[in-house]
Amino acid sequence: MTARIWAAAVVAGLLIAAGLCIPMARSLDRLADARATRDRLATALQAPAPSPVVAPELALAAPDRAAATRRLAGQLRAAATAGGLLIETIAPADSTAPGLVALDLRVSGPEKAVLAFADRTERARPLARFARWRVEAGEGGSVRLDARLVTPWRS
């Protein structure tokens, strides 16, 4: 009789152990995922910081994106009025790229003055490039530059 009780106890123990294997396997999978995430984040923390897009002296210095946008707009406004151009619009453009400021601008005036303004803008410091631009004929022999200008900035 005792052998029968021992056999029943062993079978019952094996059934309980088999029933606990499934939740234990799920827990071990979650533990493995957590360890992999921890290792990936630890590696990311030790990775070197990304290098800037341009040399620091070529970027617009400003404490934040809004200040960089205002400073760039002021520089463009001053350059356009010095060249005798009419500033139709200067507005911030959507820029999701970190470290970049974008402005939509529209200026008009004599053809030579508009082209000289575009040339001076791309040659000036801080570095600025037209992401898109279009020059079209206006009224009375003038031309209009409609463009998006992108400039890197640093704090």
Domain boundary among 47, 67, 83: 47
**Residue 150, pLDDT above cutoff 70:** yes
Question: Nearest to residue 53, comparing CAs of 103, 105, 95, 106?
Answer: 95
Residues 35 and 66 in one domain: no
User: The domain containing residue 149 runs over which residues?
Assistant: 56-154
Residues 20 and 1 in one domain: yes
pLDDT at 134 (0 to 100): 95
Count of domains forming the chain:
2
Can you give the three-state secondary structure of the chain, one letter per residue?
CHHHHHHHHHHHHHHHHHHHHHHHHHHHHHHHHHHHHHHHHHHHHHCCCCCCCCCHHHCEECCCHHHHHHHHHHHHHHHHHHCCCEEEEEEECCCCCCCEEEEEEEEEEEHHHHHHHHHHHHHCCCCCEEEEEEEEECHHHEEEEEEEEEEEEEC
Residue 70 has pLDDT above 90, yes or no: yes
Q: Are residues 16 and 60 in the same domain?
A: no
Whether residue 108 sits in one domain with residue 83: yes
Let me know whether 36 and 75 are in one domain.
no
21-68 pLDDT tens trace: 788 888 888 889 999 999 998 888 887 766 667 788 888 889 988 999
Residue 77 shares a structural domain with residue 114: yes
> Does 105 lie in the same domain as 68?
yes
